[in-house]
């Protein structure tokens, strides 16, 4: 008989152990070794059987065991030490507070730091015991919060609480992915309800046909950072509304839209409720992690229209100034797009916000579609991609929103992702790093060159131990999966010896969309088989990943891989492990020798899994995509050549698979098995040492969050403060100016350009430009007239462009004359043009309005 409802019953803590509850209630335990050791010591067997979930363990531990611990003075001393350490972590100044103090003391920063930042994401991967993530986007969001906490950055996270999480994956007998959605009891999760007085706080969001969506606010404490999670499974909702937060990325188009309305509009309302209840400063900056939370900007416009009596345009300027938008997808197919009529149905009743203005924010080429990424870019004055290459790809993908500008001028910058070292580094490597570098290096981004002092034998010994630990975990999971797939105990003797702790181990684990090419290694099965079974240099490969439940193509790829790995001739050398999650990922990142990544370039926005492996000394074997395109240096792994010019997909896969096989056989495996007299592969270990020391400070999430603070959050807070001051006077001024420019712009033109150079153009000379410009009623303060010059390619396009602003001369009959001197600083083909741009000190970039007139 199936239970109607699940709940968690806990034993009462003796007074001596009350601090244990405080430690468990803060998710910092998930990346704090002393806290983890303390939890394990409560009941080691129960700790293991509960999947290292302290909340579940304490819900099942016996009163007798708790009573014994309350009398154990050694345990109580450890408990006191961990509790004191947590108190210090939460209360003592950290990097951000020190930066604020330096700012007050006059040391000088270009922008004041915001008192609070709202960070919105549809998923957060904090720990496996809070399964609210599907893949890289959620793991990144979790690492962002954890790094912000370590740095003291005052972020408030906002997401949804999915009562069934994503899904648990298993395999059928024939290798087909099976999904199971667990029923999560919020009372058994490391979260607490936000209270409004004595009752749980509620927010509402308008839906179609006058309906209201109610949601409860749960709070997960991630170190110093609160994560607000909205839950629609409350009694005020009808049955359909209660299911809005049932599953991550589940349901149809309307279901997904309702989730995003709750995340964006409801998320802002949840922040207001949280700040009112706790006294936390209201965010000065709102950061939307992908377009899913884009409706937060609409809600903030509504607030200003209603509470400050601003017009829509005035409120739009104020909201844009304090909004940061991060795009994570390098392909249009990855963008959320909704039918226009669905937006009309749900948002027509939003008071103070005309529906036609909302629709304009999400407009794209197809007039029947509302584009969430386009809305995010139009509502965010500052935007970024998540690696240098992804920033370039994003500027190309969204260039149509800034017509007339070169791709390089599209205002989307790059901040390369990072990973949270305390979460992903093995304890062995972490202790080695702290010994050689000091614990501060894991936060402050200082050099890791001291890793070079670590000897070959010590480093190789650690790597061998981690590989052996991984092999043990693989054997356990292979056996469990085989039993689940219907095999008998008598058939499983081989699982106790599958994989070998002394064999070169390659890892491949990620989501399974087609562009990540899970089965590229299967293009030539016999070649792969020969690599796995090489008599002198064998290779073993561990694979994991989930396909979206609706993606049958991805499921077919998994089935192909499982079918190959089930072959008794190779199953001791290759395996697919089902139910990839944070807990499994740690073992993979710790123990593999090589991390394989072979996406179709340039479709990997960043790809942080390889960063996590590198922090543990694994060498990357990857297509030059995402972060690897940026930081591969020839000594920290291998670059798989990509056949970028080949348009035939099958041929491209064949070419790149052949390159992969050759690299493994001729370079990777030979380097691994090339041993010195002491049994250590010294050239391999040198690459491991170089990987940790060179990539360590670059791939840290603390580096990433500092970049966000310095490059985006602080400037956004400064812009927002300027526009909000004195009753939003500057927002009103900017709105009037923007309307004036938009009205006048169709009549702005460059009427004439002439150039003068004395004699033949020679290096070191000067080209004098004169231009006549019609401003159509705009003043010279409203525009920047620029000379744009550089090398001219075969199609007469300017490349390696430089720009100077021209100075105003006289005017005749409404035509303004401008002059400028262009230095002739390069030889060869040279060209120039003149253009006119809107100019205002309140704009973040000169391309912001998307307006330009060129001669």
Q: Residue 708 falls within a domain, yes or no?
A: no
pLDDT at 106 > cutoff 60: no
Same domain, yes or no: 471 and 604: yes
Tell me the pLDDT tens digit for each residue of 47-77: 999 999 999 999 999 999 999 999 999 999 9
200: left (phi > 0), else alpha (psi -120 to 50), else beta? beta
Confidence of residue 7 (pLDDT cuts 50, 70, 90): low
Q: Residue 445 falls within a domain, yes or no?
A: no
Same domain, yes or no: 180 and 227: yes
552-575: average pLDDT = 97
596-605: average pLDDT = 95
Q: By residue range, what is the domain housing residue 573?
A: 456-694
Same domain, yes or no: 52 and 103: no
Instruction: Determine the 3-state secondary structure of 124 from DSSP.
Output: strand
Same domain, yes or no: 481 and 599: yes
Count CA atoms closer than 13 A to 766's CA, side-chain side.
Answer: 6
Assess contact for 82 and 34: CB atoms under 8 A: yes
Domain CATH code at residue 841: 2.60.40
pLDDT for res 687: 98
Confidence of residue 763 (pLDDT cuts 50, 70, 90): confident
Q: Which residues pair with 222 in a beta bridge?
A: 225
DSSP string, 487-528: --GGG-GGGGS-S-TTSEEEEEES---GGG-GGGGGSSHHHH
The residue written with tokens 């579609």 in the block is: 369
pLDDT for res 379: 98
Q: What are the tokens at 647?
A: 């348009």
CA torsion, points 661, 663, 667, 670, in degrees to nearest 10?
A: -20
557-562: average pLDDT = 97
Q: Which residues contact 125 (CB under 8 A, 6 or more apart)?
A: 132, 133, 138, 139, 140, 141, 142, 143, 582
pLDDT at 110 > cutoff 90: no
437-450: average pLDDT = 86
Tell me the pLDDT tens digit for each residue of 701-755: 999 999 999 999 999 999 999 999 999 999 999 999 999 999 999 999 999 999 9
Q: Residue 120 falls within a domain, yes or no?
A: yes
Q: DSSP secondary-structure letter at 132? A: B
pLDDT at 36 > cutoff 60: yes
Q: DSSP secondary-structure letter at 667? A: I
201-227: average pLDDT = 96
pLDDT at 142 > cutoff 70: yes
Last residue of a domain, one of 41, 58, 91: 91
Assess contact for 85 and 686: CB atoms under 8 A: no
In degrees and rounded to multiples of 5, residue 544 shows phi and psi of -155, 160
Return contacts of 645-648, CB within 8 angstroms, 24+ apart.
Answer: none
pLDDT at 855 > cutoff 60: yes
Q: Which residues pair with 754 in a beta bridge?
A: 770
224-232: average pLDDT = 98
* CA 260/CA 238 separation, integer angstroms: 19
Q: What are the tokens at 450?
A: 């001291």
Q: Which residue has the higher pLDDT, 330 or 103?
A: 330
Element (H, E) at 751: strand 749-756
User: CB atoms < 10 A from the CB of 769, how many?
Assistant: 24
Indicate the number of domains in the chain: 4
pTM listed for this prediction = 0.96
Same domain, yes or no: 327 and 391: yes
pLDDT at 543 > cutoff 70: yes
Q: Which of 434, 393, 431, 436 is nearest to 412 (CA)?
A: 393
pLDDT cut 70: percent of the chain above it? 98
Q: Which of 665, 673, 695, 662 is nearest to 500 (CA)?
A: 673
DSSP string, 776-826: TT--GGGEEEEEEEEEE-TTS-EEEEEEEEPEEEEEETTEEEEEEEEE--S
* CA 727/CA 723 separation, integer angstroms: 9
118-139: average pLDDT = 96
Strand segments (E) across 510-566 = 539-544
β-strands 225-231, 155-160 pairing: parallel
pLDDT for res 499: 98
In degrees and rounded to multiples of 5, residue 614 shows phi and psi of -60, -35
Report the greatest alpha carbon distance in the chain. Answer: 99
Q: Which residues contact 729 (CB under 8 A, 6 or more apart)?
A: none
Q: Which of 753, 763, 829, 765 is nearest to 797 (CA)?
A: 829
pLDDT for res 4: 66
Q: Which of 166, 101, 154 is nearest to 128 (CA)?
A: 166
The residue written with tokens 């100077």 in the block is: 804
Same domain, yes or no: 83 and 99: no
How far, CA to CA in Å, does 545 sit from each of 518, 542, 554, 589, 591? 9, 11, 10, 14, 17
Same domain, yes or no: 82 and 127: no
Same domain, yes or no: 66 and 117: no
pLDDT at 770 > cutoff 60: yes
Same domain, yes or no: 65 and 187: no
Average per-residue pLDDT for the chain: 95
Assess contact for 294 and 330: CB atoms under 8 A: no
Measured in residues, the chain has a length of 855
pLDDT for res 405: 95
Same domain, yes or no: 657 and 780: no
Q: Residue 247 falls within a domain, yes or no?
A: yes
Last residue of a domain, one of 35, 63, 91: 91
CA torsion, points 406, 409, 411, 415, in degrees to nearest 10?
A: 120
* CA 128/CA 49 separation, integer angstroms: 14
pLDDT for res 8: 64
pLDDT for res 810: 86
Confidence of residue 12 (pLDDT cuts 50, 70, 90): confident
Q: What are the tokens at 549?
A: 């439940």
pLDDT for res 1: 66
pLDDT for res 10: 66
Q: Residue 626 falls within a domain, yes or no?
A: yes
Q: At what angle do helices 582-591 and 456-484 cross, to 10 degrees?
A: 140
The residue written with tokens 């202790």 in the block is: 431
Q: Residue 776 falls within a domain, yes or no?
A: yes
* 372-395 CB burial, b ≥16 within 10 A, e <16: bbbbbbbbbbbbbbbbbbbbbbbb
pLDDT for res 814: 79
β-strands 195-196, 117-120 pairing: unpaired
pLDDT for res 102: 85
Domain CATH code at residue 497: 3.40.50.2000
Last residue of a domain, one of 43, 61, 91: 91
Element (H, E) at 454: none
pLDDT at 9 > cutoff 70: no
* CA 839/CA 780 separation, integer angstroms: 9
The residue written with tokens 């909201």 in the block is: 319
Q: Which of 559, 498, 570, 558 is nearest to 528 (CA)?
A: 570
Q: Residue 365 falls within a domain, yes or no?
A: yes
Assess contact for 70 and 17: CB atoms under 8 A: yes
806: left (phi > 0), else alpha (psi -120 to 50), else beta? beta
pLDDT at 402 > cutoff 90: yes
β-strands 637-640, 619-623 pairing: parallel
Confidence of residue 104 (pLDDT cuts 50, 70, 90): low
In degrees and rounded to multiples of 5, residue 501 shows phi and psi of -65, -5
How far, CA to CA in Å, does 101 sit from each of 96, 105, 223, 710? 9, 6, 22, 15
CA-based Rg of the chain, rounded to a whole angstrom?
Answer: 29
User: CB atoms < 10 A from the CB of 575, how many?
Assistant: 24
Assess contact for 156 and 271: CB atoms under 8 A: yes
pLDDT at 318 > cutoff 60: yes
Assess contact for 544 and 580: CB atoms under 8 A: yes
Q: Which of 294, 297, 462 is nearest to 372 (CA)?
A: 294
Q: Residue 126 falls within a domain, yes or no?
A: yes
* CA 397/CA 599 separation, integer angstroms: 18
pLDDT at 6 > cutoff 80: no
Sheet of 637-640: strand order equals 574-577, 539-544, 504-509, 594-597, 619-623, 637-640
Q: Which of 446, 326, 385 is nearest to 630 (CA)?
A: 385
545-549: average pLDDT = 95
pLDDT for res 764: 80
Same domain, yes or no: 188 and 259: yes
Tell me the pLDDT tens digit for each residue of 680-705: 999 999 999 999 999 999 999 999 99
How far, CA to CA in Å, does 675 sit from each of 221, 536, 596? 48, 12, 23
β-strands 815-823, 594-597 pairing: unpaired
pLDDT for res 358: 98
pLDDT for res 344: 97
Tell me the pLDDT tens digit for each residue of 813-839: 779 999 999 998 888 889 999 999 999
Same domain, yes or no: 49 and 138: no
**Chain centroid offset of residue 601 CA:** 19
Tell me the pLDDT tens digit for each residue of 147-173: 999 999 999 999 999 999 999 999 999
Q: Which of 833, 823, 834, 822 is nearest to 792 (CA)?
A: 833
């Amino acid at each position: 008989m199936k239970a109607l409802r699940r709940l968690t019953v806990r034993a009462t803590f003796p007074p001596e152990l009350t601090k244990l509850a405080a430690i468990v209630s803060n998710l910092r335990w998930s990346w704090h070794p002393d806290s983890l050791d303390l939890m394990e010591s409560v009941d080691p067997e129960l700790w293991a059987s509960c999947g290292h979930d302290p909340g579940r363990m304490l819900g099942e531990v016996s009163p007798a065991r708790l009573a014994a611990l309350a009398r154990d003075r050694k345990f109580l001393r450890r408990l006191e030490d961990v509790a004191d350490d947590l108190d210090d972590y939460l209360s003592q100044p950290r990097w951000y507070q020190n930066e604020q103090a330096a700012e007050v003391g006059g040391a000088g920063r270009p922008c004041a730091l915001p008192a609070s930042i709202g960070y919105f994401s549809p998923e957060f991967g904090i720990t496996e015991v809070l399964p609210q993530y599907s893949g890289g986007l959620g793991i990144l969001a979790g690492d962002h919060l954890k790094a912000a906490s370590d740095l003291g950055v005052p972020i408030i996270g906002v997401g949804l609480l999915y009562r069934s999480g994503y899904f648990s994956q298993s395999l059928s007998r024939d290798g087909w992915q099976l999904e199971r959605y667990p029923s999560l009891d919020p009372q058994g999760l490391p979260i607490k309800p936000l209270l409004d007085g004595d009752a749980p706080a509620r927010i509402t969001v308008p839906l179609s046909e006058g309906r209201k969506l109610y949601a409860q606010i749960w709070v997960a404490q991630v170190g110093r950072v609160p994560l607000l999670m909205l839950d629609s499974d409350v009694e005020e909702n009808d049955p359909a509304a209660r299911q809005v937060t049932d599953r991550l990325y589940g349901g149809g188009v309307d279901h997904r839209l309702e989730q995003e309305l709750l995340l964006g509009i409801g998320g802002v309302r949840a922040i207001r409720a949280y700040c009112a209840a706790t006294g936390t400063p209201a965010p000065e900056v709102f950061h939307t992690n992908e377009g899913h939370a884009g409706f937060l900007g609409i809600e903030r416009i509504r607030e200003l229209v209603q509470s400050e009596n601003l017009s829509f345009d005035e409120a739009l300027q104020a909201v844009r100034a304090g909004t940061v938008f991060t795009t994570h997808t390098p392909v249009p197919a990855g963008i959320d797009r909704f039918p226009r009529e669905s937006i009309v149905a749900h948002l027509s009743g939003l008071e103070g916000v005309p529906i036609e203005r909302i629709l304009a924010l999400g407009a794209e080429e197809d007039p029947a579609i509302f584009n969430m990424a386009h809305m995010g870019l139009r509502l965010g004055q500052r935007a970024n991609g998540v690696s240098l290459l992804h920033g370039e790809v994003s500027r190309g993908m969204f260039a149509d929103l800034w017509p007339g500008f070169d791709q390089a001028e599209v205002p989307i910058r790059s901040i390369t992702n990072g990973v949270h070292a305390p979460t992903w580094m093995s304890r062995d490597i972490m202790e080695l790093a702290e010994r050689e570098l000091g614990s501060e290096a894991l936060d402050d981004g200082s050099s890791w060159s001291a890793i070079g002092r670590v000897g070959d034998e010590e480093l190789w010994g650690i790597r061998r131990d981690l590989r052996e630990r991984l092999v043990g975990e693989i054997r356990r999971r292979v056996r469990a999966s085989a039993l689940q797939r219907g095999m008998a105990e008598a058939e499983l003797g081989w699982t106790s010896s599958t994989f070998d702790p002394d064999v070169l181990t390659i890892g491949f684990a990620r989501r399974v969309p087609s562009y990540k090419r899970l089965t590229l290694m299967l293009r030539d099965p016999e070649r792969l088989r020969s690599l796995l079974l090489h008599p002198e240099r064998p290779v073993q490969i561990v694979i994991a990943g989930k396909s979206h439940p609706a993606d049958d193509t991805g499921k077919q790829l998994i089935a192909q891989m499982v079918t190959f790995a089930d072959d008794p001739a190779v199953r001791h050398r290759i395996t697919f492990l089902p139910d990839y999650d944070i807990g499994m990922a740690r073992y993979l990142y710790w123990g593999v020798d090589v991390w394989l990544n072979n996406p179709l370039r340039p479709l990997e926005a960043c790809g942080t899994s390889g960063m996590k492996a590198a922090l543990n000394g694994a060498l990357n074997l990857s297509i030059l995509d995402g972060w690897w395109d940026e930081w591969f240096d020839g000594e920290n792994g291998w670059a798989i050549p990509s056949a970028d010019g080949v348009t035939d997909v099958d041929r491209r896969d064949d070419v790149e698979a052949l390159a992969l096989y050759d690299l493994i056989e001729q370079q990777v495996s030979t380097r691994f098995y090339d041993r010195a007299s002491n049994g250590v592969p010294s050239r391999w270990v040198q690459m491991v040492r170089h990987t940790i020391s060179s990539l360590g400070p670059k791939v840290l999430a603390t580096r990433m969050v500092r970049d966000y603070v310095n490059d985006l959050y602080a400037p956004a807070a400064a812009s927002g403060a300027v526009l909000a001051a004195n009753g939003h006077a500057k927002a009103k001024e900017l709105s009037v100016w923007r309307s004036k420019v938009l009205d006048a712009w169709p009549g702005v033109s460059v009427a004439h350009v002439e150039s003068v150079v004395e004699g033949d153009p020679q290096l070191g000379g000067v080209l004098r430009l004169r231009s006549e410009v019609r401003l159509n009623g705009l003043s010279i303060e409203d525009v920047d007239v620029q000379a744009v010059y550089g090398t001219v390619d075969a199609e007469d396009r300017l490349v390696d462009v430089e720009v100077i602003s021209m100075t105003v001369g006289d005017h005749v009959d409404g035509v303004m004359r401008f002059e400028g001197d262009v230095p002739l600083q390069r030889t060869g083909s040279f060209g120039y043009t003149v253009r006119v741009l809107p100019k205002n000190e309140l704009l973040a970039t000169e391309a912001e309005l998307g307006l330009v007139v060129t001669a």
